[in-house]
């Protein structure tokens, strides 16, 4: 991760994603939540995960935060893939709709994020989370702030 971090200022968003995959260095959230970046291109990112009982809520289903995290990550990386080397982003708003519950039998699940529109200061993205049978489990829309990175940081 340090190699990518050290070169971050010199890589576009798409190049950063390529470098992470090539170096087999997933961000820490991927390990925590058991998901992986599987596909990406400019304006699109796909993550796959296998929810297990470690992400269950007290009522015996996968916590909604698992789906929200996957959807937020897919939306964010779709925007990230379009950024220049001197730009960063952060989520301003995430709206999630839950269509069906997830369990440890739902996986692998797939979150696909796509850009709806992007400007100089904001990006708008949407994502769908589907289960192993291709059924929609959750959807999201996201507004992301795009900002210049500090050259000293």
Domain boundaries, the chain: 2-148
pTM of the complete model: 0.90
The whole-number pLDDT of residue 151 equals: 54
The whole-number pLDDT of residue 3 equals: 45
- Ramachandran angles phi, psi of 118, nearest 5°: -145, 140
CATH architecture entry for 2-148: Roll (3.10)
What would you report as the CA-atom Rg of the chain, rounded to the nearest whole angstrom?
A: 15
The whole-number pLDDT of residue 84 equals: 95
Residue pLDDT tens, the chain, 153 long = 444 455 445 899 999 998 988 898 888 888 889 899 999 999 999 999 999 999 999 999 999 999 999 999 999 999 999 999 999 999 999 999 999 999 999 989 999 999 999 999 999 999 999 999 999 999 999 999 999 998 544
Residues ≥6 apart with Cβ < 8 Å to 122:
92, 143, 144, 145, 146
Q: Do residues 139 and 124 lie in contact, with contact meaning Cβ atoms separated by under 8 Å?
A: no
Q: Do residues 43 and 82 lie in contact, with contact meaning Cβ atoms separated by under 8 Å?
A: yes
Using CB atoms within 10 Å of the CB of residue 64, give its burial: 0 to 12 exposed, 13 to 18 middle, 19+ buried: middle
Residues ≥6 apart with Cβ < 8 Å to 128:
111, 112, 136, 138, 139
The whole-number pLDDT of residue 152 equals: 44
């Amino acid at each position: 991760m340090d190699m990518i971090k050290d070169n971050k200022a010199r890589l576009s968003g798409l190049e950063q994603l390529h470098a992470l995959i090539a170096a087999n260095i997933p961000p820490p959230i991927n390990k925590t939540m058991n998901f992986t970046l599987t596909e990406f291109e400019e304006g699109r990112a796909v993550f796959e995960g296998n929810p297990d009982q470690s992400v269950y809520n007290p009522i015996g289903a996968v916590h909604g935060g698992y789906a929200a995290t996957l959807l937020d990550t897919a939306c964010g990386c779709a925007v990230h893939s379009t950024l220049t080397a001197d730009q960063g982003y952060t989520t301003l708003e995430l709206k999630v709709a839950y269509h069906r519950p997830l369990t440890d039998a739902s996986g692998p699940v797939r979150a696909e994020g796509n850009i709806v529109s992007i400007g100089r200061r904001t990006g708008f993205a949407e994502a769908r989370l589907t289960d192993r049978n291709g059924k929609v489990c959750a959807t999201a829309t996201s507004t992301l702030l795009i900002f210049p990175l500090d050259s000293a940081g």
